[in-house]
Amino acid sequence: MGRAMPGGTVVRRCVQLCAIVLLALAAGCVSDERKIAAIQDVNEVFRADYERILAEDGTHTYNVPREQAFEAARVAFGRLGMRVADQSPDLGYLSVFAPAPQPLTRDEWHQAAQVDLPKMHEILYRRLWLLAYLVPFEPEGLDVVVNATALEVRGGTAISLTMRMREVAPPKTGYPRREYAPPTAVRIGLRKIWTAIERELPEGTRQY
């Protein structure tokens, strides 16, 4: 025979269940216009964060020929599990993709979500109120697309990266997709990519 559940615990669980049901019902009453506007608010904030991160860490310069830098990037992306979508060695252009959350692991994605999810909920709350807390950071149905360019500069080659998300399946949440990855995910992703590229280059060739 199992022990009886304390009355206070039963009441709390009932209240929690009722709250979840009410929020789920209320979610069906939110207009598409409000949902779109709320996600656009998130995109605006995350875009500004994304552009600031790229300004800080989106370009690295190496004291190697462009062909060597390009090949290092191509090999590095392959080691990170990303597939080539388009490339032009002559132009120094490379576009790769992989199902989200790559190049992050699941653990790294959850780490980013713990930092950035409260921020996203705060933004959504302005239009959705408590329904904001039902919107998750779902990586399913998304590809991460990274574009790299390798350009000759004085003393070597500058590699620049951009990172976006591309929808490949409709979201299960009923909310529009975000265009920009969470800022912490962008930082972690860039760090992993640069580390992978620098493993393919001679030590000490990075200039700045």
How does pLDDT run across 108-127, given as a tens digit for each residue?
999 998 999 999 999 999 99
Question: Which span out of 38-42, 149-153, 176-180 was modeled with the highest average pLDDT?
Answer: 149-153
- For the chain, the distance separating the N- and C-terminal CA atoms, rounded to the nearest angstrom, is 68
Res 6: pLDDT: 53
Q: Is residue 7 part of a domain?
A: no
Of 12-16, 67-71, 128-132, 137-141, minimum mean pLDDT range: 12-16
- Average pLDDT of the segment spanning 48-64: 97
> Mean pLDDT in the chain?
86
Confidence band, pLDDT 50/70/90 cuts, at residue 66? very high
- Average pLDDT of the segment spanning 9-16: 46
Q: Is residue 22 part of a domain?
A: no
Q: Is residue 77 part of a domain?
A: yes
Domain CATH number, residue 113 = 3.30.530.50
Q: Is residue 23 part of a domain?
A: no
Verdict on whether the full-model pTM lies above 0.85: no
Q: Is residue 150 part of a domain?
A: yes
Encoded amino acid at 138, one letter: E
What would you report as the CA-atom Rg of the chain, rounded to the nearest whole angstrom?
Answer: 22
Nearest alpha-carbon partner for 162 in 174, 147, 177:
147
Kindly state the DSSP code that residue 5 receives in the 8-state scheme.
Answer: P
At residue 21's C-alpha, the angle toward residues 16 and 23, to 5°, is 95
How many whole angstroms separate alpha carbon 78 and alpha carbon 83? 6
pLDDT at 145 over 50: yes
Element (H, E) at 84: strand 83-88
- Average pLDDT of the segment spanning 73-89: 97
CB 159 within 8 A of CB 69: yes
Q: What are the residues facing 167 on neighbouring strands?
A: 142
What percentage of the chain has pLDDT greater than the value 70? Answer: 86
Res 21: pLDDT: 38
Joined tokens for residue 173: 């949440």
Confidence band, pLDDT 50/70/90 cuts, at residue 24? very low
Query: What residue numbers bound the domain in which 124 lies?
Result: 31-199
- Average pLDDT of the segment spanning 25-42: 76
pLDDT at 8 over 60: no
Q: Is residue 185 part of a domain?
A: yes
Q: Is residue 19 part of a domain?
A: no
Q: Is residue 11 part of a domain?
A: no
Per the structure, how many domains does the chain have?
Answer: 1
